[in-house]
């Protein structure tokens, strides 16, 4: 978590670490917004996906040992209602020894 700069990345990382044993976390978009502390920001899912979800997933994949993918789930016709995070720990990070 130390290398993550975005608050959204840190929250998403912690959210996924809670379920590391199963490697899957399904969460409704409303619960995701609440967990991330977004309130009414990004009411359109495209904005939420572009400005929060994808940025956080990219940062987690680049700066941690966790490998994270997100799938969107449609349960009510055309709109997305849930997010499916699939993740695994890819091993140990290299630490500089002095």
For residue 59, the model assigns a pLDDT of 94
What's the pLDDT tens digit per position in 2-22? 788 899 999 999 999 998 889
What's the pLDDT tens digit per position in 49-95? 999 999 999 999 999 999 999 999 887 778 889 999 999 987 765 55
For residue 92, the model assigns a pLDDT of 62
* pLDDT at residue 97 is higher than 60: no
DSSP 7-47: HHHHHHHHHHHTTTTTSEEEEEHHHHHHHHT-TTS--SHHH
């Amino acid at each position: 978590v130390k290398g993550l700069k975005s608050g959204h990345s840190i929250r998403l990382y912690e959210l996924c670490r809670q379920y590391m044993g199963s490697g899957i976390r399904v969460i409704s978009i409303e619960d995701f917004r609440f967990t991330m502390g977004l309130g009414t920001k990004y009411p359109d899912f495209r904005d939420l996906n572009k400005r929060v979800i994808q940025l956080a997933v990219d940062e987690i994949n680049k700066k941690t040992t966790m490998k994270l993918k997100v799938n969107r789930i449609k349960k009510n016709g055309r709109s997305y209602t849930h997010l499916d995070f699939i993740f695994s720990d890819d091993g140990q990070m290299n630490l500089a020894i002095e």
